[in-house]
Amino acid sequence: MEANKKACLIVIDGWGINADPKCKGDAIRDAPTPVMDTLREKHPYRTLAAHGLAVGLPDGLMGNSEVGHLNIGAGRVVYQDIVRIDLALKRNEFGSTENIRKCFDEAKSGNGRLHLCGLVSDGGVHSHIKHLFGLLKAAKEAGVPEAYVHFFADGRDTHPKSTTKYLKELLDELKALDYGSLATICGRYYAMDRDKRWERVQIAFDGMTQAKGEKVESPNDPKSVISTVEKRYENNETDEFLKPIIVDENGQIKDNDTILFFDFRSDRMREITQSFGIEPTPFDSPVPKNLHITTFTQYKSDFPFPCAFPPQKMTNVLAEWLAKNEVPQCHVAETEKYAHVTFFFNGGTEAQFNLEHRDLINSPRVATYDLKPEMSSIEVAEKVAEEIDTGNYPFVMCNFAPPDMVGHTGDYDAAVKAIAATDKGIGIIFEACKRNNYALFVTADHGNAEEMLGEDGSPRTAHTCARVPFNIATPDKVVLTEGSEEDALCDVAPTILKYMNIPAPEEMSGKSLISQ
């Protein structure tokens, strides 16, 4: 092969391959996708594992955007925080984990009040309910006098009306432990925003600090708590969009309190954490003074808060390795997925490597993306094509957000439009690759839009455990290795490096899928 070959990588968010051709609700199958059809039928093609142990997650757990981009960019299986945390939980080590122990000690030496804040479900994407249970048990064993749970409701990585199930599990656990109290309930739309919609975050914040919200009639009666949520369901207010419900007014976060945020995924916890601990506050609500904040993982590298499970060091990921080989590169995405083509793709670091250029395309300002299912896919595609046409960057990569973001809304018709728009965007980039002698590599970070309906016919909004495509269209002929069930996202970077005639670093344990 010639030296200095050029490559473009497209990572589609939420584009899985449904193993059941007769499955109802497969928006990818049902949408017009002439470009992806051509890539699959006329060019080298593989499927890759994108969930569970293949991407460093617990066996059988669905993939997600963070995990997908980390594995793709790292060229190795990146064992996720949930695996490390699960191991600590299994070994009963929460109480002896240094910064959890210090958090508990802070509460005990202060006013005795500990707040556990995070997403309460078994979705396993941002958090896990069993981690909350482990923290409650450890806090009781450590002698923390008071513990309050601020329950962020899911409905995206779980069924849209499953909060009542998790509430019952939590209330049963609190009763069994004879310890702790449920303070507030609030949907993740407010508590876990990541697009600087501070007016949303403020609603959650005010519920947690000022008890602004609907008061439960009989807070000591589990049935009353659950019926409050059920009444919201009757008014078509599902889990994600639950406005604050106040269960225990004594559970407001007050001056000198201690807070532990227990989500292990960072991107949707940054804003709520910043609201409590970083000045200036992004809205005009009063902030309790002298708070002691600990996060489960590192939510942002410049946050001053201790974290229970600090990041593993990642060296010689694809972006860093290209920089060391003096290969200029360009990363492009719209707002919703910009962190994924930068922070996550680059190995979980905020660093921008030498000769790395970034383009941010604004996501549309709509309440939910089913209102504009194409999002900014065409603008992203046109920017990528423009950067390819300059000839300045031998490696260009981008993300297409619509299949995942619209898939999360549960709106099947909107998802079909999102898929069609994404395919059109891929076509724009494919044409730019052909006229500039670039190889095109197309994959996805996880599944979603290929399974939009549950078994009962209700909308399905969560990610899936589906395999994802890996399409390769090159100016010259390449031959792939024989396909294997073990082929996974970690093989993407070594394959690209093999094509570009750049030896892969020893840290990349993934394998090239190009045989010659």
Residue numbering of the annotated binding site for Mn(2+): 13, 65, 404, 408, 445-446, 463
Phi-psi region of 124 (alpha: psi -120 to 50; beta: other; left: phi over 0): left
> How high is the pLDDT of residue 313?
74
Query: Token pair of 334, please?
Result: 């719209």
Cβ neighbours of residue 405 closer than 8 Å, sequence gap 6 or more: 13, 14, 336, 369, 375, 418
Q: Say what the pLDDT of residue 3 is.
A: 45
Q: What pLDDT was estimated at residue 1?
A: 33
Measured distance CA(186)–CA(82) in Å, rounded: 23
Residues 6+ apart with CB under 8 A from 406: 369, 370, 373, 375, 414, 415, 417, 418, 449
Angle (CA) 198-376-273 rounded to 5° is 25
At position 223, the amino acid (one-letter code) is K
Residues 466, 18: Cα–Cα separation, whole Å: 6
H-state helical runs in 97-185: 98-109, 129-142, 163-177
Q: Which structural domains are found in the chain, ordered by start?
A: 6-78+313-499 (3.40.720.10), 82-309 (3.40.1450.10)
How far apart are alpha carbons 495 and 512 in whole angstroms? 4
Q: Collapsing DSSP states into helix, strand and coil, what is residue 145?
A: coil
State the Cα–Cα distance between residues 492 and 75, nearest whole angstrom: 7
Give, in degrees to the nearest 5, the angle at Cα 376 between 475 and 470.
35
Could you tell me the end-to-end alpha-carbon distance of the chain, in angstroms, rounded to an integer? 9
CA distance 32 to 417: 9
| Residue burial 402-422, b: 16+ Cβ < 10 Å; e: rest | bbbbbbbbbbbebbbbbbbbb
**Structural tokens at position 469:** 């495509």
Residues facing 399 on adjacent strands: 11
Q: What is the side-by-side strand order in the sheet with 258-261? A: 214-215, 245-246, 181-187, 146-153, 113-119, 258-261, 292-297, 307-309
Strand positions, DSSP E, 98-251:
113-119, 146-153, 181-187, 214-215, 245-246
- Which residue is catalytic, options 65, 121, 376, 377? 65
| Locus of tokens 């369901």 | 233
Q: Which residues are annotated as a binding site for substrate?
A: 126, 156-157, 188, 194, 265-268, 337
Q: What is the pLDDT along the chain (516 residues), one digit of tens a residue?
A: 334 799 999 999 999 999 998 889 999 999 999 999 999 999 999 999 999 989 999 889 999 999 999 999 999 999 878 888 998 999 999 999 999 999 999 999 999 999 999 999 999 999 999 999 999 999 999 999 999 999 999 999 999 999 999 999 999 999 999 999 999 999 999 999 999 999 999 999 999 999 999 999 999 999 999 999 999 999 999 999 999 999 999 999 999 999 999 999 999 999 999 999 999 999 999 999 999 999 999 999 999 999 999 977 799 999 999 999 999 999 999 999 999 999 999 999 888 999 999 999 999 999 999 999 999 999 999 999 999 999 999 999 999 999 999 999 999 999 999 999 999 999 999 999 999 999 999 999 999 999 999 888 899 999 999 999 999 999 999 999 999 999 999 999 999 999 999 999 999 999 999 997
121: annotated active-site residue? no
Query: Distance between CA 151 and CA 136 in Å, rounded?
Result: 13
Q: What global pTM score does this model have?
A: 0.65
450: tokens are 């290929």
30: three-class secondary structure by DSSP: helix
Per-residue burial over 23-51, b if 16 or more Cβ lie within 10 Å, else e, is: eebbbbbbbebebbebbbeeebbbbbbbb
Taking the C-alpha atoms of residue 277 and residue 274, their distance in angstroms, rounded to an integer, is 5
- Known binding positions: 13, 65, 126, 156-157, 188, 194, 265-268, 337, 404, 408, 445-446, 463
Q: HSE, CB side, 13 Å, CA atoms: give it for residue 374.
A: 12
